[in-house]
Chains A and B, each alone.
Chain A
Amino acid sequence: MKISGYQLFWLIFTMEFGMTAIFTLSPAVFMSKQDTWISIIFATLIALATTFVAVKLSLLYPEQTFIQSSQLILGKWLGKIILIPYFVMWITVTGVILREFADFVYITLFSSTPLWSIILIMLCAVVYATSSGGLKSIARSGEIIGPVAALGSILIFFFSVKDWDWLRLLPVYSNTGFVPILKGSLTPASFLAESFMVVMLVAFMKTPKRVMSSSLLGVAAASIAVLAMTLIVIMVFGPNLPAKFVYPLYSIVSYISVMEFIQNVDVLIVLLWIISIFIKLSLYMFITSYGTAQLFHIKKWKHTIWWIAPIVFILSLLPRNTLDTMDYAKSVWHDVIFPVNLVGIPLLLWIIGVIRKKAAL
């Protein structure tokens, strides 16, 4: 189960781009209107910084996953306690993403298909990818799917050229201000910072040296794609409307009309979304199951999938409506997980780890 730097790049790009572009633009534009592109640049910087910390942290012990290295850094018991918020995060976020995916497909495509069947089909695909070859098969699908996702976003970009109005980006800064722009950047940043999961992947790299460049490039590429989508959304819909759409990017794509014959291409964005979600869910599934196995010293890690998959399935059926999953993204992910799990603890662990290594020398 070894992956290359190239595969890591596509994994990170694919899993970050789809979710961020679909989900975070609406709250970001709500805060920072036509200056959302500045927010996205801020968000990129935040995400690059958290990724840098995550990679540095995992390179302290490049052979170990986060489960092992946290115990090496903090000691056996404290190291295990600090892992609890991560397992809670991994399991809940997998369930919520699964539900968000199903809701989106339900709203846009299949409004009479039962929700559980959409969830179950996706879950089966995820379980199959994870259990058949673990990270290796996920990485290989990422290698194929990633370029498709990138191509899809380039197509959206060019299809919408005709509807752009550059003036809608003006005036810069003066209608919003520094605080709204910074606030607007937090939601995209919290999604882009999911690249934190490299702490679990570094142990599987063929050449750990390439982790830094691959993951930073992956985050940067995803951010550039999100930035392009942000510009499109504002240049087509203006500074006020995107905040009112639940999925502004989907509405943009359904608005596309090229030469009066390329129309109704909303399936394109649904496809992008589905494949991006697939990679993300598979990665979370792998991390959760492999991590669980390592934590409890289970020899065959694949067996844990059969426990985790049903839990995730039930979790995904719990939210009563789309507002509940939105609430999770807002109040749990954005307010707790992002500052604690993705920024605070990694930074703390890295500092302690560096000090301990120096002390050991």
Chain B
Amino acid sequence: MKHRLEAFIGVILCIVITTGCWDRVELSDRAFDLAASTDLLEDGSYLTAAQFIIPSRISGGASNGQPYFVETGNGKTLLEAIQKSRQKLSRLITRGHRRNYYIGEDLAKHGIKELLDGFSRDPGNRIRLDIWVVKGSRGMEALQVHYPLEKIPSVASSKIHRAIGGTTSTSYLDFMMASSDEGSSPTLPVVDIVQGASPQKTILFYGRAIFNHDYKLVGYLNFVEGAYRQWILKRISYLDIAEEIPEAGGSVGIIVNSFGSKVKSSILGTNKVKIEIELTGAGHVGENNTNLNLNESQNLKLVQNEINMKTSEHVLEMITKVQKQFGTDVLGFNQIVNRQHPAEWNKIKGHWDTIFPDIEVTVHVNINLKYVGLVGPSLLYKESEIK
């Protein structure tokens, strides 16, 4: 009881100091930014747009209108553009839930260097972010698409990406890691705005955008090419492959759902590198448009070998395209050489860009078909036609 006075003063102090939080922002004073975009205008200024939730429309079953709206602003720098859009907003922008960011093709070609710093600097932003390039269009258009399956349309692109077997929410970090790494070049996923069956436009997951060291867009990989790249990097969980089997006069489609990749490098002398890629996978037959009875093991082997051979060719075509057409290492070859031949890497890392296009690459795909599905031969054929 000696300390009654001290305790009393302490309690009073606590009340005085800690009542009323200086940083309190009520939910009703926040505007939740779920996705945003930036575009380059003709006059060289940035146009930024953001998709905000309208909280009163998101709850309750009967919705009268879209539960979101898009607000824009433009300025010389990104922050200035955001400032312009804030002049139109009655609430404080909160980005804790933002997962998607769209960049127009013009801006991507012009270079996105000036855009990226803010994403990691401001603690209000999340690093777990997907940045998308909108092919042949403006980033803002991706925000304006009304996507019927999702209440908030901007989550569609990352959900599509995940549903078709890609990795989501890591593209910003991957981009930064690739840019800060000696030799490698960054990539971003791509969406395309297409005319769907309905009168509205819809979002299509297109593939991968390739950037050079100046953060400028140099080209695209389409979906299958992008998937091959992801396979090499072990970042894939699902892929459909359909190939013509000339011996059987038809095509067979398979679904691959487990993936492995081994990349081996060897140094063949000064500035000459050889890369051997072995891609493994396991899957099952999805369609069989030939007269082969896949319950026969030699038939299955025929199909398997044919698909493996053709896929190897396609993967090699993709790699050659990256090497010759883009000349940017987006396949992680620099890291492979660094890990497997660290001493040599220290010598050649300075001129990796000139070595990369001339790397000799061999690809060997080895998919193991584990199941043929519920039928052996296709039910279409007569007994006599089945081989």
Contacts and interface: CB of A to CB of B under 8 A. Distances in A.
Given A112-B23, A167-B339, A174-B343, A120 B17 contact: yes
A117 B13 contact: no
A109 B23 CA distance: 8
Contacts of A120: 17
B342 A111 contact: no
Nearest to A108: B123
Interface string B122-140: 0100111000000000000
A237 B170 CA distance: 11
Contacts of B22: 110, 112-114, 117
Nearest to B162: A260
A240 B177 CA distance: 7
6 contacts: A117-B22, A121-B18, A170-B338, A238-B181, A240-B181, A251-B127
B177 A175 contact: no
Contacts of A178: none
Given A128-B10, A238-B181, A255 B346 contact: no
Given A113-B22, A237-B173, A264-B96, A174 B342 contact: yes
B17 A117 contact: yes
B338 A255 contact: no
B293 interface: no
A244 B94 CA distance: 25
Interface string A248-282: 00010011010000011010000000000000000
Given A110-B23, A264-B96, 12 more contacts: A112-B22, A117-B22, A121-B17, A124-B17, A170-B339, A174-B343, A174-B346, A175-B346, A238-B180, A240-B181, A241-B180, A255-B127
Interface in B148-176: 169-170, 173, 176
Given A107-B123, A238-B180, A175 B13 contact: no
Nearest to B179: A240
Chain B, interface SS category: helix
A293 to B, nearest CB: 19
Contacts of A263: 128
B325 interface: no
Contacts of B123: 107-108, 254, 266
A154 B10 CA distance: 35
Given A167-B339, A171-B338, A175-B342, A254 B177 contact: no
A163 B169 CA distance: 11
A124 B13 contact: yes
B335 interface: yes
Contact of B128 (A117, A121, A170, A257): A257
B200 interface: no
Interface string B318-337: 00000000000000000100
A174 B343 CA distance: 7
B120 interface: yes
Contacts of A128: 10
A300 B206 CA distance: 75
Interface in B71-130: 96, 120, 123, 126-128
B354 to A, nearest CB: 21
Interface in A291-309: none
B120 A251 contact: yes
A236 B280 CA distance: 25
A112 B21 CA distance: 9
Nearest to A239: B181
A125 to B, nearest CB: 10
Interface in B4-24: 10, 13-14, 17-18, 21-23
A120 B22 CA distance: 15
Nearest to B177: A238
Contacts of B18: 121
A245 B120 contact: yes
A149 B281 CA distance: 43
A300 to B, nearest CB: 14
Q: Which of B17, B22, B120 has the most CB of A within 10 A?
A: B22
A309 to B, nearest CB: 13
A167 B18 CA distance: 47
A254 B127 contact: yes
Interface in B179-238: 180-181
B120 A111 contact: no
A111 B127 contact: no
B335 A237 contact: no
Nearest to A120: B17
Interface in A99-123: 107-114, 117, 120-121
